[in-house]
Structure 1
Amino acid sequence: MKTIASLFLSTYPDANSLQIAASSVALVKQINAALHAVAIDVEIPDVSNALSKLLLDLPYKIQEAEATSRKRGKVLLEAIVQEAARGGVTLTTQDLTASPALMGDVAAEHSRYFDVGLVGLAAGNQTARMMAEALLFGSGRPTLLLPDAMEVGILDHIVIAWDGSRVAARAVADAQAFLERASMITVLTVTDEKPLPGHGIGERLALGLRARGLVAEAAPIQAGDRSIGTALQEHALKIGGKQLVMGGYGHSRIRDFVLGGATEGILSDLRLPVLLSH
């Protein structure tokens, strides 16, 4: 059965960069997956009254914002079509509309029909951040975050953030397509952040991966005065890691997401592709 990844593109008020086209196609090609790209265009409810129409011309501003959003979505989808054709990746595309507050909910709902959700994340793009959080907690699928303007290379070294928890175990299972194609896997355990369920848990996971024919090693690290998200990403990059796999901690509360420290750190300052599972 062929894996299908769904990519959700933000178009308003900030749009994804065109780099996301090449990055998403390169990523799915590495795991022999198909891609379903979705542009979510904004649909702004008209709540204007006579005074706002007279002073602000609010209906025109709404039409202008919606037209800009549609144009951005069209440009992004056209770029992905071109990249997929060059890369030989099976692609389908779709346009959806949503109010600004519901863009994340719409993305999460549609992601449930695919195997993994992709989001291009950049600092300051609150719509992309909203989509990432909604996918993580609402889709029931793993969420793969891509640094929006960064080129995705060969994901040959996968780094697993391991604390022995349920969500970490789910992330490892959800990352199977990437793990089985990696030439190296490093299991990171942060030893000074919280109590762990025993000693040597990283080596225990690495041993299990090696028993499955994979090349894996364990590496305990300390966060020190760094945030946990920063410590994990910095060490992953230091050792040549190309993708981080980790559990996503937190819960949703009517679109108000309460995040764990590591998850918040990743979403706030994404430095490499990260697969999150909840």
Structure 2
Amino acid sequence: MTRLLSKAVDLACLVRITEGTPLAALRQAIALAAAAGAHLRVFVGVQKLVAPYTPFGGAMTGSIVAEVNQRAEQEAASLAETARAEAGAAGVALEVEIVSGPFAEVAMRAAHAARAADLVVVDQQHGALDTAEMLIEEALFRSGRPVLIVSPNRPPVSEVKRIIVGWDGSAHAVRAVSDALFVFPTIETVEILTISGEKDLASALPAADFARHLARRGLEAVLTSVDAKGRPVAEVLNEYATTRKADLIVSGAFGHSRLWEFLLGGVTVELTSNAKTSVLMSY
């Protein structure tokens, strides 16, 4: 059966300025935009610090904060120039917007802007308290778009052919796979990985049913089951994707409540922090 192809026409890349701002998401977004002939919008977020009130040394504190803010603005301008140069070399149509302010506000504005894109591309966070987590969360829950969290451990890919799906039968997982197939029409193989021993999947959509649906779309659908053996699901999924040399991990976001994920850790937090393979998530 011939598979109907779609493709992304607009991509959004959200970058947070920090010490040693990573370029993995930017370069991955440029590679994907070049391959798809898509328009790329880069949103550069700058956290603007405010000097705390103190009766002693207020002027000195204000001066230090002003210097930090100025340096961040300069780095944002430098990153914008890098984006223009690399996108231009790749033949990618690009627009760049720099926004500064309290980071919660910056992240929310970035997510709203990303609604006019087919895919949102961001860098990994570095632990649950990193402000990049705020950017990822806003993108996932406020943009209404699939979010690609880019691993710094892999070079940019321009063509996605093999994906590993972390399957739990949820609506979020189904939506994530559908989003991946729309954004990456080059996908040929979908390996549906069920990790047993983590939660009861008796009432979930069976992986075999979803595999038959994918096969009717002209895809190679492979069913695999792995016993977690007490290990965290994200660790098993990450290791398996690396072993199989997958181009992408696809997963629904937040299998537990967001508070539970934050306090105790969970698949979403672990994958957005430590995955060696880039992860596409949908909510």
TM (normalized to structure 2)? 0.85
Distance across 2 between alignment mates of 1:29 and 1:251: 37
- The yes-or-no answer on 1:161 pairing with 2:166 is yes
- The yes-or-no answer on 1:5 pairing with 2:11 is yes
Match of 2:138 in 1: 134
Per-residue CA deviation, residues 18-71 of structure 1 (Å, 9 max, x unaligned), is 3443222113334443211011122223443452325xx112112111111112
Distance across 1 between alignment mates of 2:8 and 2:194: 32
Match of 1:48, SS state, is coil
TM-superposed deviation, 1:146: 0.4
The 8 Å contact of residues 122 and 149 in structure 1, kept in 2 or not, is answered as no
Q: How does 1:1-278 map to 2 (within 5 A)?
A: 3-12=9-18, 14-54=19-59, 57-123=60-126, 126-148=130-152, 150-153=154-157, 154-197=159-202, 201-249=206-254, 250=256, 261-278=266-283
Q: Write out the 4+ residue segments of structure 1 that deviate beyond 6 Å after TM superposition.
A: none
TM-superposed deviation, 1:213: 1.1
TM-superposed deviation, 1:243: 0.3
Distance across 1 between alignment mates of 2:243 and 2:233: 15
Structure 1 residues 30, 92: closer, same or farther in 2, change over 3 A?
same
TM-superposed deviation, 1:72: 1.7
Deviates more, 1:161-170 or 1:112-121: 112-121
Structure 1 residues 197, 98: closer, same or farther in 2, change over 3 A?
farther
The 8 Å contact of residues 122 and 148 in structure 1, kept in 2 or not, is answered as no
Per-residue CA deviation, residues 114-136 of structure 1 (Å, 9 max, x unaligned), is 23221111536922222112211
Deviates more, 1:175-184 or 1:70-79: 175-184
Match of 1:51, SS state, is coil
Q: Which amino acid aligns with 2:72?
A: S
Identity of aligned residues (%): 25
The 8 Å contact of residues 8 and 119 in structure 2, kept in 1 or not, is answered as no
Structure 1 residues 251, 258: closer, same or farther in 2, change over 3 A?
farther
The 8 Å contact of residues 122 and 270 in structure 1, kept in 2 or not, is answered as no
Q: Which amino acid aligns with 1:126?
A: D
**Gaps (5+ residues) in structure 2?**
1-6
Distance across 1 between alignment mates of 2:109 and 2:279: 22
TM (normalized to structure 1)? 0.87
The 8 Å contact of residues 103 and 130 in structure 1, kept in 2 or not, is answered as no
RMSD (CA atoms) = 2.6
Distance across 2 between alignment mates of 1:273 and 1:40: 21
Structure 1 residues 44, 200: closer, same or farther in 2, change over 3 A?
closer
**Gaps (5+ residues) in structure 1?**
none
The 8 Å contact of residues 16 and 120 in structure 1, kept in 2 or not, is answered as no
Deviates more, 1:16-25 or 1:87-96: 16-25
